[in-house]
A = this chain, B = another copy of it.
Amino acid sequence: MAATSTRLYCFTGGSVGPWRVDAVLPVIGMALVKPQRLAVSPASTTPPAPHSWQLSGITSNDRYVERTEKLALLNKQEGLGRPASTHAALIPIRKSAAWWALTQDERRDIFERQSAHIGIGMKYLPKIARRLHHCRDLGHDQPFDFLTWFEYAPEDSKAFDDLLAALRTSPEWAYVDWEVDIRLTFDFG
């Protein structure tokens, strides 16, 4: 098992970092302040200061994916950090108390049978690479439950918007009570 510290990431919106913040769009609920830059750092390093906001999340085991789906995903997906992936998005999401009160079979039914969450993501592989971070059980209060980080090439921006549109109209999204959409461009200059 990977040590906790190697699975924990900080996303710091402020004046430093290799990602230029192009837009911070409130999708559901409150807006976040739009900083100039975003830095992504492993939690073991000192995050940059000062900053507008800082969000933390930890990668973890799959909660819904089944083996046949996992094999299909592994077969199609590519990793983060591809040179052509100069566009990125950070999408923090919070789900409602009603979601968390559901049992595993109920959540899986909404997540995949009704909403095709895995199936929709699969359609956009390998174009859209992603990493999911969990925040809900970090032990110190976090505003969001999940932070998803996406990377893609500029020519796949339309595909990325289509992916988000499909998820946001799915039954699962009735349980999302806060969502912010942060768009970024890699700009190390």
Contact = CB atoms under 8 A, between A and B. Distances in A.
Nearest to A97: B1
A97 B1 CA distance: 4
Interface of A: 1, 3-5, 8, 43, 56, 58, 60-67, 69-70, 96-97, 100-106, 108, 134, 136-142
Nearest to A5: B141
30 contacts: A1-B96, A1-B97, A3-B141, A4-B136, A4-B137, A4-B138, A4-B140, A4-B141, A5-B140, A8-B139, A43-B139, A58-B137, A58-B139, A61-B100, A61-B102, A62-B103, A63-B104, A64-B104, A66-B104, A67-B103, A67-B105, A70-B103, A104-B104, A104-B108, A134-B137, A137-B137, A137-B138, A138-B138, A139-B139, A139-B140
Contacts of A106: 66-67
Nearest to A71: B103
Contacts of A43: 139
Given A136-B4, A140-B4, A140-B139, A105 B60 contact: no
A1 B104 contact: no
A179 B75 CA distance: 36
Contacts of A69: 103
B4 A56 contact: no
A61 to B, nearest CB: 5
A65 B104 contact: yes
B56 A139 contact: yes
Given A3-B141, A61-B101, A65-B103, 20 more contacts: A1-B97, A1-B136, A4-B136, A4-B139, A4-B140, A4-B141, A4-B142, A5-B140, A43-B139, A61-B100, A62-B103, A62-B104, A63-B104, A65-B104, A66-B104, A66-B105, A67-B103, A67-B105, A137-B138, A139-B139
